A and B are shown apart, each in its own frame.
Chain A
Amino acid sequence: MLDLLVFLPVLVAVALLAVPGLSDQVSRIVLVAVTGVELAVSLGLWLAYEPRPGVTGDIAYERELQWIPTVDSGYHVGVDGLSLPMLLLTTGLFFCCALYAWREQLRPRIFAALLLFLETACLGVFASLDLILFFVFFDLSIVGMYFVIAGWGHGQAARSALKFFLYTFFGSLAMLVGFLALFAGSAPHTFDMVALAQNPPLQGRPVAGGFALLALGIGLAIKTPTVPFHTWLPPAHTDAPAVGSAVLAGVLLKMGTYGFVRIAMPMLPDAWRTWAVVAVVVGAVGVLYGALVALAQTDLKRMIAYTSVAHMGYVLLAVGAAGMLGGSDAEARTVAVSGAVTQMVSHGLVTGALFLLAGVLQDRAASYDLDAYGGLATTAPRFAGLFGLAAFASLALPGLSGFVAEFQVLAGSLGSAPVGVVVALLGLLVTAALFLVAMNRLLLGPPGRLTGKVRDLRPSELAAVVPLLSLSLFIGVLPRPLLDVIEPSARAVVDLVSR
């Protein structure tokens, strides 16, 4: 089933392009249908999944085929508590994006094929248990996103797409160097992620391990992105179409943070413990810096982009704190890592919804200027209600997923990294400020220059945004179903780092 989940979209994409004379309407239906099937399949995998530690074995839905035996790299896929939430997030977000794209008028057939190709690449990254396979899917996702931005974006789309591609491609090359170091340091030489986590390479070789982590870290930090490697993100988001932004923020950014918990921490535990403080600093600074820069923005999409930097900072803070063993017990560090994974899911849902809502403004009035709007609570109540809900979710209001994530990160990290947590708390406050200011500008007060143009949400837009925020609400109120899956693997990661 996992193979089907990963490869069905790309097969349909090929068919979409190959069959001549398909109408636009048919390709829209196919897109919604296939992403719907994907969502159903991943839900089935979720329901049939027995919580287990994973990471070093005991992987669900595992399949291993020979591919490049000379370097012991194979087609090895499987699912544990770290990857399953990511798979479900990916299929859910793509389904919502497919609904949102119902009204896409520009080359819908090619757009549908491209989105399906992108879905395969994203699912492949999270299902991979082999570094080369991971790298291939990782790069394919960059290629897919490049075409989405360049082909369907607006503003300086070509330039932003190129910047996105080159910057993140550079990151993936740095990551590849790290992979090669892992390969060279392992005995016997292998690219298999399970084997590398079971028998970590470069243990007791601080210099080589440090350099391997540096290469991996830079690569993943660019993709995440963390301060100071984030400057490709605002232009990419600003000029990308709404669906592209939602996928970019919701899924692609998670590949970076996922790499930290899946690859860097379990495979380089010595080096991770030595350099954990760097992750803490980068994370805490990122939370505050991202929030402060977001506060100064006047462009809605740039603002949301910078809040993404802040939200990814929490993940870095937590995984860093999980590597600092003094001052906290394994229980608290497990809470931190569990919070990091929850944050990836929560950010995907909430920021995905925010970008889709921002796309509504672009669709109606072709502007993201916060000052051009106002009073939308009166003229577009559905938009206002959902935007308000998403904003409150993003500023970590209890009852929504952001709180569950950030509370775990902050409470779990305080023992190991008190200074980092205090800095991040300030960032939490600034995040609240910037979303309240944005709500005041957009939704409240007298109508602005472009308010008259903003027609309230259409059914397809409503159908795309409501499920994302409902899921955020569900996780916020009843987090156990998600945490029951995440926690065993989070504990496994913490145990592996403590080796």
Chain B
Amino acid sequence: MSLLWPILLTPAGVGALLALLGPRTGRTAPAVAVLTTAATLGLVAGAGTQQRTSVPFLLGAPFELGLDGLSSALAVTVCVVTLCVLAAVPGQVPERRGRLCGWLLLFLFAVLLTLTARSLLPLLVGWELMGAASYLLIAHDVADPHAARSATTALLTTRALDLGLYLAAGAALAGGGTLALDGLSALPAGWRDAAALGIVAAALGKAAQLPVSFWLSRAMDGPSPVSALLHSAAMVAMGGYLLLRTAPLLTATGWADDAVAWTGATTAVLLGIVALAQRDLKQLLAASTASQLGFVVLAAGLSAREAGAAQLVAHASVKSLLFLVAGLWLHELGTRDLGALRGAALRTPAVGVLAVVGLASLAGLPPLALWGTKDAVLDAALQHSVPLYAAGLLAAVLSAAYAGRVLVLVLAVDRQPDRAPVSPRVRVPTTSWVPLLPLAAGAALLVALAVGRPAELFGELVGREPVQTSAAGLGLAALLAVAVLALMRSQGEALAARLSGAPLHWLHLEPAVRAIAVRPVLQLSRALATFDDSVLDRAVESAAAGTVRAATAARRLDERDLDGGVRAIASLTQRLGALARRLQTGQVHHYYGQAAALLVAATVLLLLVR
């Protein structure tokens, strides 16, 4: 039996059990979940990159799974991040931990299914299960109606675009009869375009690219550990992964690759500006996620699978670290407002060090992870088109700006006149921040994915070529990052304050979608409900009433006209009878007279007729 089944069934089985038992699992749930994830990680690492299996599922659509280099690299990443997140749950989430850990494991299962899917069918299954799990995870606090609404917005937005995968599957079935992912680029032209359109839509939706990035903002109403997994390493990352995986299909269409590259570049720039404008740490991180995923999407559009995968892995580490830091600060300091987090790194020194590593990496400072991987994407862009490179460079500057702004803020020292710190230090329990250490190590050391021998090895693992960076590019990126950071030290808040319009409100994307799509649908639905009741049903009811009226009319016809006619004939007959009776007097002379009159009348008649 292929190792793929234990890899998938371990988190699925334990996760379902934990979610089902919920409160009864008590304090053991996080520990059980951590062990399960560790076992899954061991299985993934031990499975190698040659696994493949297929079981019959639907007619012409078997359940095809496989593990190659790209899947394996990302599966390891997701397992490691899940491990850290689960270990951090006890330090941040006070309630319903059993359910949370169970759903996180089920979510891990969905992600691993997505990563190991070799055809559209298992992909769709994993893809939609991720969405459903994200709804349940964001709505973790069941008593909070706001979280429930946000979960709905997030799921509906992504599902609207997920329907593209149904379209792609239908097109693949109609066009060639096979749903295998690597066979899609061989479809006949029309069906191939439909398949590409569907896949691109689904992937851009999950990756929170424009114009639907707003769902990621709403998703921030969930617990921070959830964001640390879903909105850094897993769900959004799967959008990027799918595009990297299907890059040959995008190239084959002749339009999808350019469309994807430009969507990625545009999102990287615009959401970078949005991130700069935010006043809430999680909102800033969310906008940054969409922007950083923009680099991956850009790489997919350029068929630079190796650079995109490196960026995906490095970003997963950095962003899950920062979301967990934000969660710790929310739990220990009670706020995620950036103004209130002034000096937070100094108030919580251990967490502060981790935060600084993550933010510096996000800013693109050398020699940290995102400095290298982002440059690898830029290098690929430069080889393809100068405008795309320019957009990417601008996005890199913006990420230095927003990350630098937070870095300056959390390291700020405010002292009262007597030189005592304004806010006291807060002791964060060691068990709360130790789980973040592997992520911080990744945020720093994963720069190796983009330089030197490890970059060659990683490139061969996930694709064909080494991940490439140039000394000039790396130097320019480092120079820009340092310069921007220096600028932000003095101008950061002023710059952010000037962006209080559309960028602060995520470009007003959600209200726009509500106005264009949601409100008309709701109005239409109410109008149709009224139509259903007062036209369709009324028609049926009036048909019934008409039948009753027709019956009444028939009764009238029957009783008054038909029966009346019969009765009229009867009474006429009766009257004639009464008249006839008057002849019967019983007196002989009357009878003689009648006989004589009859005789005369008969004689006259006879004479006349003759």
A residues contacting B by CB (< 8 A) are 163, 166-167, 228, 230-232, 289, 292-293, 295-297, 327-329, 331-332, 334-335, 338, 375, 377-378, 381, 392, 397-399, 403-404, 407-408, 410-415, 421-422, 425, 428-430, 432-433, 436-437, 440, 443-446, 479-480, 483, 487
For the complex, give the distance between the alpha carbons of A329 and B59 in Å: 13
> Which residues of the partner chain B approach A292 to less than 8 Å between Cβ atoms?
521, 524-525, 528-529
A-B interface contact total, Cβ < 8 Å: 145
Interchain CB contact (< 8 A) of B142 among A293, A338, A398, A443: A443
- Looking at the assembled complex, report how far the CB atom of A30 sits from the nearest CB atom of chain B, in whole angstroms: 34
**In the docked arrangement, what's the CA distance between A334 and B177, Å?**
12
- Chain A residue nearest in CB terms to B169: A411
- What residue in chain B is nearest A426 (Cβ atoms)? B163
Given A297-B529, A436-B155, A430-B521 contact (CB < 8 Å): yes
Return A446 CB to nearest CB of chain B, in Å.
6
Of A404, A407, A487, the contact of B169 (CB 8 Å cutoff): A407
CA separation between A377 and B147, bound complex, in Å?
A: 14
B64: Cβ under 8 A from any A Cβ: no
In the complex, A305 Cα to B223 Cα: how many Å? 36
A444–B145 touching, CB < 8 Å:
yes
Interface contact B525-A479, CB-CB below 8 Å: no
Chosen A-B contacts, 12 in total, with CB atoms closer than 8 Å, are: A166-B544, A293-B528, A293-B532, A296-B526, A335-B58, A397-B129, A398-B124, A410-B166, A414-B170, A430-B525, A436-B152, A440-B149
A213 to B533, CA, bound (A): 28
B500-531 with Cβ < 8 A to chain A: 521-522, 524-526, 528-529
| Residues of chain A lying within 8 A (CB to CB) of residue B166 | 407, 410-411, 425, 428
Q: Interface centre among A411, A428, A445, A487, by most B CB within 10 Å?
A: A411
Distance (whole angstroms) from the CB of A102 to the closest CB of chain B: 25
Note all chain B residues with C-beta closer than 8 A to A411: 61, 166, 169-170, 173
Bound: A479/B62 CA distance, A: 11
* Pairwise interchain contact A332-B174, C-beta atoms closer than 8 A: yes
The answer on a CB contact under 8 Å between A445 and B143 is yes
User: Is A296 a contact of B173 with CB atoms below 8 Å?
Assistant: no
B171 at the A interface (CB under 8 A):
yes
Give the chain B neighbours of A408 by CB distance below 8 A.
58-59
Establish whether residues A433 and B58, one from each chain, have CB atoms under 8 Å apart when the complex forms: no
Q: How far is the CA of A381 from the CA of B99 in the complex (A)?
A: 12
User: Do B173 and A293 touch (CB < 8 A)?
Assistant: no
**Chain B residues numbered 1-48 whose CB sits less than 8 Å from any CB in chain A:** 22
Known contacts A167-B540, A381-B22; is A407 also within 8 Å of B124 by CB?
A: yes
Residue contact A432 to B170, C-beta cutoff 8 Å: no
Assess A404 versus B58: contact at CB under 8 Å? Given A412-B173, A414-B170.
yes
- Residues of chain B from 148 to 184 with CB closer than 8 A to chain A in the complex: 148-149, 152, 155-156, 159-160, 163, 166-167, 169-171, 173-175, 177
User: Quick one: closest A residue to B172, CB to CB?
Assistant: A411
A392 neighbours in B (Cβ, 8 Å): 132
Chain B contacts for A404, CB-based, 8 A:
58
Identity of the chain A residue whose Cβ is nearest the Cβ of B136 in the assembled complex:
A388
Residue in B57, B60, B163 whose beta carbon sits within 8 Å of that of A429 in the complex: B163
Residues from chain A with a CB closer than 8 A to the CB of B528 are: 289, 292-293, 296
B170 touches A440 (CB 8 A): no
Instruction: Kindly state whether residue B545 has any CB partner on chain A within 8 Å.
Output: no
**Further 8 A-B residue pairs, CB within 8 A, beyond A415-B173, A429-B163, A487-B59:** A329-B177, A335-B59, A375-B142, A398-B128, A407-B58, A422-B167, A433-B156, A479-B57
- Cα distance, A413 to B132, chains bound together (Å): 26
Q: Are B56 and A410 in contact (CB under 8 A)?
A: no
In the complex, the answer to whether A295 meets B159 with C-beta atoms within 8 Å is: no
The answer to whether A398 and B129 have CB atoms under 8 Å apart is yes
Which residues from chain B contact A377 at a C-beta distance below 8 Å? 142
How far does the alpha carbon of A436 sit from the alpha carbon of B150 in the complex, in Å? 11
Ordered nearest first, which 4 A-B pairs have the shortest CB separation?
A414-B170, A415-B174, A445-B145, A296-B529
Task: Give the distance to chain A from B112, nearest Cβ to Cβ, in Å.
Answer: 14
Closest approach, in angstroms, between the C-beta of B545 and any C-beta of chain A?
12
Considering the chains assembled together, what is the distance between the CA atoms of A375 and B141 in angstroms? 11
Distance A446 CA – B141 CA, assembled complex (angstroms): 11
* Whole-angstrom CA separation of A419 from B139 in the bound complex: 35
- Are A296 and B525 in contact, CB atoms less than 8 angstroms apart? yes
Measured in the bound complex, the distance between the Cα atoms of B166 and A422 in whole Å is: 10
Closest to A429 in B: B160
Number of interface residues of B (CB under 8 A): 50
Chain B residues with Cβ under 8 A from A397's Cβ? 128-129, 132
Distance from A491 Cβ to chain B, minimum over Cβ atoms (Å): 9
Most chain B beta-carbon neighbours within 10 Å: one of A408, A436, A437, A440: A436
CB closest residue in chain A, given B156: A433
**From residue A379, how far is it (CB to closest CB) to chain B in Å?**
10
CB distance from B30 to the nearest CB of A (A): 20
Whether A479 and B152, one on each chain, are in contact in the complex, defined by CB atoms closer than 8 angstroms, is no
Which residues of chain B are within 8 angstroms of A338 by Cβ–Cβ distance? 58-59
Q: Tell me which residues across on chain A come within 8 A of B155, comparing CB atoms.
A: 432, 436
Report B-chain residues with C-beta under 8 Å of the C-beta of A414: 167, 170-171, 173-174
A378 adjacent to B57 (CB under 8 Å) = no
Contact B163 A440 (CB under 8 A): no
B59: A residues at CB distance < 8 A: 331, 334-335, 338, 408, 483, 487
Query: With A and B bound together, what is the CA distance between A296 and B128 in angstroms?
Result: 25
**Contact between chains at A378 and B143 (CB < 8 Å):** yes
Known: A328-B174, A429-B159. A403 touches B145 (CB 8 A): no
Known pairs A332-B174, A413-B170; A293 contacts B525 (CB<8 A):
yes
A483 CA / B121 CA spacing, docked (Å): 16
B59 to chain A, nearest CB (A): 5
Which residues B77-132 have CB closer than 8 A to chain A?
Answer: 121, 124-126, 128-129, 132
Chain B residues whose C-beta falls within 8 Å of the C-beta of A429 in the assembled complex? 156, 159-160, 163
Alpha-carbon distance between A331 and B172 when the two chains are bound, in angstroms: 13
Contact assessment for A440 and B173 in the assembled complex, using a CB-CB cutoff below 8 Å: no
In chain A, what residue has the closest Cβ to B59? A335
Within 8 A of A (CB), among B542-565: 544
A329 to B163, CA, bound (A): 23
Contact of A446 among B56, B145, B171 (CB under 8 A): B145
Interface presence of B135 (CB below 8 A): yes
Residues of B within 8 A of A444 (CB): 139, 142-145, 147-148
Q: Are B174 and A436 in contact (CB under 8 A)?
A: no
Q: Is B414 an interface residue (CB 8 A)?
A: no
B536 at the binding interface (Cβ < 8 Å): yes
A293-B533 Cα distance, complex, nearest whole Å: 10
Interface centre among B126, B160, B166 (most CB of A within 10 A): B166
- Chain A residues with Cβ under 8 A from B152's Cβ? 433, 436-437, 440
Q: Of all chain B residues, which has the CB nearest A422?
A: B167
B131's nearest neighbour on chain A, judged by CB, is A397
Closest to B120 in A: A411
Contact of A228 among B57, B159, B529, B536 (CB under 8 A): B536
The interface residues of chain A lying within 8 Å CB-to-CB of B148 are 440, 444-445
Are A375's CB and B177's CB within 8 A?
no
CB-CB under 8 A from B139, the residues of chain A are: 444
C-alpha gap A413/B155 in the complex (Å): 26
Closest Cβ of chain B to A432, distance in Å, is 5
User: CA–CA, A446 to B125, complex, Å?
Assistant: 32
Contacts of A328 in B (CB 8 A): 174
In residues 49-84 of chain B, which contact A (Cβ within 8 Å)?
56-61
Cβ of A230: which chain B residues have Cβ within 8 Å of it? 536
CA distance A411 to B169 in the complex (A): 6
Residues of B within 8 A of A430 (CB): 521, 525
Please name all residues of chain A whose beta carbon is closer than 8 Å to the beta carbon of B524 when the two chains form the complex.
Answer: 292
CA distance A446 to B163 in the complex (A): 32
Nearest chain A residue, comparing its CB with the CB of B132:
A397
**B135 lies within 8 A of A231 (CB):** no
Q: Which residue of B lies closest to A167 (CB)?
A: B540
Residue of B nearest to A437 (CB): B152
Chain B residue with Cβ nearest A433: B156
CA distance A329 to B496 in the complex (A): 59
CA distance A436 to B129 in the complex (A): 15
Question: CB-nearest residue of chain A relative to B159?
Answer: A432
